[in-house]
Amino acid sequence: MTINETQDELIEDFSFYEDWMEKYEYIIQLGKELPLIEEQYKQEQYIIKGCQSRVWLHPEFKDDKIYFTADSDAIITKGLVSLMVKVLSGHTPKEIAESDLYFVNQIGLQEHLSPTRANGLLSMIKQMKLYAIAYLNK
């Protein structure tokens, strides 16, 4: 599935939820299901510090593609992290670097990407793209 196909699928998934409660319950569920990052990667080097919550992100380069694993200490952030991982992981550096994450707006979660939230999510997306650009230039 392409990055945009995954995004479109998520947009459709979320369209079933009528109110914020259901939407957040789903995100919390996703957060609880996110495969944890391996403990060895949960260290300073892979941490993305937000003012409010922290995110760990580990990239692995395999067969010309980047695979991300990630975690967060806050469950809603973790749910959102899992959405980002779902959309971007397993794609080529070029695809990741050039991606436009329009699904965030469409499912009404853009507030979590606001710098004032300081939850580490915005920095995580930036970091994912930076990894992609770094591999692109190798």
Partner 1 sequence: MSNYDITRIRSDFPILKREVNGKPLVYLDNGATTQKPKQVIDAIDHYYADMNSNVHRGVHYLSQISTDAFEVTRQKVKDFIHAAQLHEVIITSGTTHGINLIATCFGQAFIHEGDEIIISAMEHHSNIVPWQMLCDFKGAVLRVIPMDEHGELDQAAYANLFNERTKLVSFTYVSNALGTINPVKQMIATAHQHNVPVVLDAAQAVQHIKIDVQDLDVDFMVFSGHKMYGPTGVGVLYGKEALLNALPPYQGGGDMIKEVTFAKTTYNELPFKFEAGTPNIEAGICLAFAIDYINEIGVENIKAYEDELFDYAHSRLREIPNIRFIGTAEKRSSVISFLIEGTHPYDVGVILDKLGIAVRTGHHCAQPVMDQFGIPGTIRASLALYNTKEDIDALVSGLQRAANMLL
Q: In this complex, which beta carbon is closest to partner 1, that of residue 52 or of residue 123?
A: 52
Name which of 15 and 29 has its Cβ closer to partner 1: 29
Secondary structure, 3-state, the chain:
CCHHHHHHHHHHHHHCCCCHHHHHHHHHHHHHHCCCCCHHHCCHHHEEECCCCEEEEEEEEECCEEEEEEEECCHHHHHHHHHHHHHHCCECHHHHHHCCCCHHHHCCCHHHHCHHHCCCHHHHHHHHHHHHHHHHCC
Which CB atom, from 21 or from 138, has the smaller least distance to partner 1?
21
Q: How far is the CB of 75 from partner 1 (least distance, A)?
A: 5
Task: Give me the catalytic one of 51, 130, 133, 136.
Answer: 51
How near is the Cβ of 50 to partner 1 at its closest, in Å?
8
Q: Is 105 assigned a catalytic role?
A: no
- Applying CB under 8 A, the residues found at the interface with partner 1 are 20-21, 24-25, 28, 51-54, 73-77, 112, 118-119
Which residue numbers are catalytic?
Answer: 51
